[in-house]
Amino acid sequence: MALPYRWQWRVEKWKNAMRGFFGGEQQPRPKICPACGALVGISATRCHECGTSLRFSLTALSKGLSGLFGSRAPVTSILLVVNIMMFGVSLVATMQAGEAGGLSILWSMNGEILDRLGASGPVPIFYGHQWYRLATAMFLHLGLLHIGMNMMVLMDVGPVLEDLYGSARYLFLYTTTGVLGFLLSAFLGNNAVGASGALMGLIGAMIAVSTKRGGGHMKELRSRLISWVVMIFLIGFWIHADNYAHFGGLASGFALGKLFVDREPMNPREKQRAYALGWIAGIALLASFATMLLHFTVHLPMQPR
């Protein structure tokens, strides 16, 4: 059975890489600048058009990482995978604690397990200075219903904004709005987990985009988004969800949507700025998870959930 074209291309690329590794001869080829797309010389170390380094640059590294996932929305795919992985870890730990039996898997996880995995709360954040929780809490969920609804929204809204802003700025948007949502929530005394603050940030950015563009379609989209937001807040009040995090994410997402240009970065300077934002967000997330692992055995008392 023939492989799909994309996989044929990848296999050929791997073959060429292995040939070079084992000493096979390869003809030198011209290079393409990852920032502006200009064709440069075989031995060039810097692009003659935009000045980007061809040996190392955030643009080249970011494009290489995006290509590993073979998707138009690689960051959304990564976020989905990490959310599912963290849910799996919390579920296994809850089962080992003798809980999560029967239908309780739909809405109940062990509170202490979630605390150790980085749930948000005022005591550990403001008194224990465990600021990493503002990020790790975005990847924890209370049950199958919780993660199921959030991941449906992520896969519905995420690829649209990632395509609009580019993967780097999209990651910055998602991370920043999620962190600010939990910061407001913790400041007002809430213990919380879930991706909904960051997801509300995406919705806030979409509302901002619709306000900057004219036409009946944008007006209709804005109306539907606002109706969606109202429904989310009403459901939040009904089921006692963390509407503080929802509001923090929504407001910060709207603000960033107003600031960001409604297109992918075009010139080298815009690309460098966008990739810098993406790497700041990515490094902050990795550092947060690493710190969570270091603090995993340290338990601070949390308020009752």
The catalytic site residues sit at: 196, 246
Orientation of helix 58-69 relative to helix 167-187, angle to 10°: 90
Q: What is the residue-wise DSSP string for 90-139? A: HHHHHHHTT---GGGGGT---HHHHHHTT-B-HIIIIIS--TTHHHHGGG
Please, which residues have CB within 8 angstroms of residue 242's CB and are 6 or more apart in sequence? Answer: 185, 190, 192, 194, 196, 197, 236
Backbone angles phi, psi at 120, to 5 degrees: -85, 145
What span, in angstroms and rounded, lies between the C-alpha atoms of 98 and 90?
A: 13
Of 268, 284, 254, nearest to 161 (Cα)? 254
CA 72 to chain CA mean position, Å? 14
**Whether the Cβ atoms of residue 127 and residue 189 lie closer than 8 Å to each other:** no
Instruction: Show the CA angle centred on residue 260, arms to residues 222 and 125, nearest 5°.
Output: 95
What span, in angstroms and rounded, lies between the C-alpha atoms of 161 and 210?
A: 12
Place of tokens 């080249």: 60
What span, in angstroms and rounded, lies between the C-alpha atoms of 14 and 271?
A: 28
**Whether the Cβ atoms of residue 289 and residue 86 lie closer than 8 Å to each other:** no
Orientation of helix 58-69 relative to helix 74-96, angle to 10°: 60
Place of tokens 């995978």: 81
